[in-house]
Amino acid sequence: MRLALVIIDMQQYFFRSEERRIKLRELISAINELIDCAKDKNIPIYQVLTVHKDDRSTWNIVMKKYNFAALIEGSKEAELLSEIKFDKSQEVIIKTRQSAFIRTNFEDKLRENNIDTLILCGVFTHGCVGRTAVDAYERDFNVIVAKDASFSHIKNQEEVMFDVIEHEQEQLILNNEDIKKLLSK
């Protein structure tokens, strides 16, 4: 098993409302704990960020429909949260869709490094984390969703996504302690 830690969308924009910041401190702490663990075990770390071009060329259908600019390259809202532990050893993957696999070279990078198992965390479980988990499975990667280090403010959708990942795809949803135990083997 060759693992990678994948941290998704821990950017200013995604925490713009109070309901999205409810568990932010705990989320940051859990993600940083996994970063420390991954570094200790020499597990590659990928920071996946959503970033769009101002010229609309990367905008999705809804953004274009409502002329809604978000996560524009160079903007404050597109920045990684400063509390997330980040250094030059972490590779940044820029995406423009919910899944980290769509219109990126992410799969190629994983294959080049012989990675077969992804530990996914970040926001939102019902969106980008979950859709990346589904696409990873469809590309024959094993998936572990870090429950403590993932968050959704839409709980019923999060539960549906967990159900798909765990029961339909037979992938793992583990808390940080169980992930650390797994990595210690």
**How confident is the model over 59-89, as pLDDT tens digits?**
999 999 999 999 999 999 999 999 999 999 9
pLDDT tens-digit series, residues 12-25: 999 999 999 999 99
E strands in the chain: 3-8, 45-50, 91-95, 117-123, 142-151, 172-174
CB neighbours (10 Å) of residue 44? 17
Residue 7 CA: distances (Å) to CA of 11, 122, 123, 146, 156: 11, 5, 8, 10, 22
Q: How many domains does the chain have?
A: 1
Number of H helices, E strands in the chain: 7, 6
Query: What CA–CA distance (Å, rounded) separates 11 from 50?
Result: 8
Tokens 């992410």 correspond to what residue? 106
Quick check: 184 pLDDT over 90?
Answer: no
Q: Specify which residues 46 forms β-bridges with.
A: 6, 91
51 class by beta-carbon count within 10 Å (0-12 exposed, 13-18 middle, 19+ buried): middle
pLDDT tens-digit series, residues 149-159: 999 999 999 99
> Given this model, what pLDDT does residue 69 score?
97
**84 CB-near residues (< 8 Å, 6+ apart):** 7, 10, 28, 31, 32, 35, 47
Q: Nearest-CA neighbor of 1 among 113, 106, 117?
A: 117
Q: What's the mean pLDDT in 35-53?
A: 97
pTM for this predicted structure = 0.96
CB neighbours (10 Å) of residue 55? 9
> Given this model, what pLDDT does residue 140 score?
98
Q: Which domain holds residue 148?
A: 3-184
Quick check: 98 pLDDT over 90?
Answer: yes
> Given this model, what pLDDT does residue 135 score?
98
> Given this model, what pLDDT does residue 185 score?
79
Which percentage of the chain shows pLDDT scores above 70?
100
pLDDT tens-digit series, residues 112-141: 999 999 999 999 999 999 999 999 999 999
Mean of the per-residue pLDDT values of the chain: 97
172-160-70-13 Cα dihedral, nearest 10 degrees:
-60
CATH number, domain of 66, equals 3.40.50.850
